[in-house]
Amino acid sequence: MTNATDRQQTADNRTTADNHTTADNHTTADNHTTADNHTTADNHTTGRRAFLAAGGAVALTALAGCLGRTVQFGLDADTVTESTGRSIPAGTVRDVRVSNSVGRVEIHGVETETVDVKLVKRSRDGQRGLDAISASVDLSADGLLAVSTALADRDWTGRSMPTVDVTITVPSGSEAPTVSAVETMLGDIDLRGTRGDARLASELGAIRASGVQGFLTLRTEAGDVEVNDVVGIDEASTDLGRLKLDLLGVRGNVDIGTNLGEIVLGVADDLDLDLDAAGSAVDSDLQLFDRRSGVGRLSGRLNAGGRRLRVVSDLGSVSLRAIRRA
């Protein structure tokens, strides 16, 4: 288990596969941050940028076990950021799971031979805010990579609440580790080019998924959900938000719904489904047998029927479109 409180100091800020982390503490005059584990202080006015360019920033570097940690403070900056990272040989990782407290999560499949994890904390409350977020990157003996963060319980206001963004890259392809679960309390989720069935959940945030080789369950209480080019969907729901989905495969009954928002659903025209749709208005170009329709209702059988597809918007329209496959 790695967390940001155990500190070691080294000369170079790069994380190697044998779990050694180094730190490189460079601050440029125009206060830009390099792509490898560097941290900048965000600023929002031209005068402030000029001031920082002239005066620079104070950089503090520390290490936390296998995580490289770099902090930079602009002398008059609103936001302080802290970056940590870890690189792990892909062959040692079987599955990836992420639980984030406050902040977005992005997991992308790319051409690489490692699993790379980057955490970026942001605070408008200085070091106090950064220290309020704990983080761990834990690789178990059986290959489960668990990334988790937690925010200390304090009286945070919206502006002062610190956040932490999680970015992970994994190898693409059939031999890549699976990504099976991603959750965040407050933040968006973006899953692209990964492998494996996955459950994606956010209490407040949008969910996007594309190019996933697996079946997805997607749930958010407030936020849009957008899915395309995935093997299939088991469930997709939001209490407040828009659903824009392509349904290319099913393996059971599928429920898609929102309390407030429109639904735009593409359905592969070769699936065998029993459709039941309801909304403030429902339109469809699906070729349905035993078609029954009324005000805000549509039901019928697609091809041979079988699996139930239920699509409901309590306060919003439903649009169903056929996706024709050769």
- The 3-class secondary structure across the chain, one letter per residue, is CCECCCCECCCCCCECCCCCECCCCCCCCCCCCCCCCCCCCCCCCHHHHHHHHHHCEEEEEEEECCEEEEEEEECCCCCEEEEEEEEEEHHHCCEEEEEEEECCEEEEEECCCEEEEEEEEEECCHHHHHHCEEEEEEECCCCEEEEEEEECCCCCCCCCCCEEEEEEEEECCCCCCEEEEEEEEECCEEEECCECCEEEEEEECCEEEECCECEEEEEEEECCEEEECCCEEEEEEEEECCEEEEECCCCCCEEEEEEECCEEEEEECCCCEEEEEECCCEEECCCEEEEEEECCEEEEEECCCCEEEEEEEEECCEEEEEECCC
Domains of the chain (ranges plus CATH)? 91-107+140-323 (2.160.20)
Question: pLDDT tens-digit profile of 126-169?
Answer: 898 999 999 999 999 999 999 999 999 877 776 778 999 999 99
- The per-residue pLDDT for 326 is 67
Question: pLDDT tens-digit profile of 264-308?
Answer: 999 999 999 999 999 999 999 999 999 999 999 999 999 999 999
